[in-house]
Amino acid sequence: MPHLRMTGRGLWITVLIVPPLAFVALFIVYPIISAFAYAFFDWQGLRRGDFVGLENFHTVLFVEPYRSWTINAFTHNVIVFFALMVLQNGLGFLLAYALWRELPGARFHRIAVFLPVVLSTIIVAYLFKLFLHPLFGVVNISLRGIGLDWLAQPWLGQGSTALWALIAAQAWHMVGFPTLVFLAGMQRIPGEILDAARMETESEWVKISKIVWPLVAPSATIVFTLLFVGAFNWFELPYIMAGLDGSPYGSTDVLGLYFYRTAFGNVSAGQQDFGLGSALAVLIFIFIAAFATVMTLRLRAREIQV
Partner 1 sequence: MSTAQASYYDRRGIMGTLGRDGLLQIILIANTVLMLAPIIIMVFSAFKTTPQIFQSPFAIPDFTQVANFLKIWNETNFLRYLLNSFVVTGASMVLILTLGTMAAYALGRYAFTGANFILMFFLAGLTLPLKLAIIPLFMLMRDLSILNNQLSLIFVYTAMGLPTTVFIMTGFIRSLPSELEDAARMDGASEARIMWSIMLPLVRPAMVIAGIQNVVPIWNDFFFPLVFIQNDDLKTLPQGLTNFMGEYTTDWGVLFSGLTLSAAPIIIIYIVLSKQFIAGMTSGAVK
Q: Which of residues 121-180 bind partner 1 (CB under 8 A)?
A: 121-123, 126-128, 130-131, 136, 138, 141-142, 172, 176-177, 180
| Rounded distance between C-alpha atoms, residue 26 and residue 59, angstroms | 30
Residues linked to residue 51 through DSSP beta bridges, in sequence order: 41
Q: Does 249 bind partner 1 (CB under 8 A)?
A: no
Minimum distance, C-beta of residue 164 to partner 1, in the bound complex (Å): 16
Which residues 50-109 are close enough to bind partner 1 by CB under 8 A? 91, 94-95, 97-99, 101, 103-106, 108-109
21, 63, 290, 294: which one contacts partner 1 (CB under 8 A)? 21
Query: For partner 1, which is the closer residue by CB, 48 or 153?
Result: 48
Q: Looking at 71, 78, 111, 151, which residue binds partner 1 (CB under 8 A)?
A: 111
Q: Which residues lie below 8 Å from residue 106, measured CB to CB, with a gap of 6+? A: 99
CB of 212 to partner 1, least distance (A): 13
β-bridge partners, 204: none
CB of 259 to partner 1, least distance (A): 7
How many chain residues bind partner 1 (CB under 8 A)?
Answer: 92
What is the pattern of x (binds partner 1, CB under 8 A) and - over residues 202-241? x-x-------------xx--xx--x--x---x-xx---x-
Partners of 41 in beta bridges: 51
Q: Which residues pair with 48 in a beta bridge?
A: 43
CA distance 167 to 155: 12
For residue 290, the minimal CB distance to partner 1 (Å) is: 13
Query: How far is Cα 116 from Cα 43, in angstroms, rounded to an integer?
Result: 41
- What is the smallest separation between the CB atom of 98 and partner 1, expressed in angstroms? 4
Nearest to 60, CA basis, from 280, 286, 287: 280
Shortest approach of partner 1 to residue 87 CB, angstroms? 12
The smaller minimum CB distance to partner 1, of residues 69 and 182, is found at 182
Distance CA(130)–CA(117), nearest Å, equals 19
132 with 139: CB under 8 angstroms?
A: yes
**Distance (Å, whole) CA 43 – CA 293:** 32
Rank residues 18 and 160 by Cβ distance to partner 1 and give the closer one.
18
Q: Which residues contact 157 (CB under 8 A, 6 or more apart)?
A: 134, 248
Q: Which is nearer to partner 1, 243 or 250 (CB)?
A: 243
**Residue 38 is a binding residue for partner 1 (CB under 8 A):** yes
- Residue placing its CB nearer to partner 1 in the complex, 160 or 293: 293
> Could you give the C-alpha distances from 28 to 35, 63, 262, in angstroms and in order?
11, 31, 22
- Compute the distance between CA of residue 291 and CA of residue 287 in angstroms, rounded to an integer: 6
Residues 258-287 that bind partner 1 (CB under 8 A): 259-260, 263-264, 274, 277-278, 281-282, 284-285
**Are the beta carbons of 256 and 233 closer than 8 angstroms?**
yes
Closer to partner 1 by Cβ: residue 230 or 248? 230
Q: Which is nearer to partner 1, 16 or 306 (CB)?
A: 16
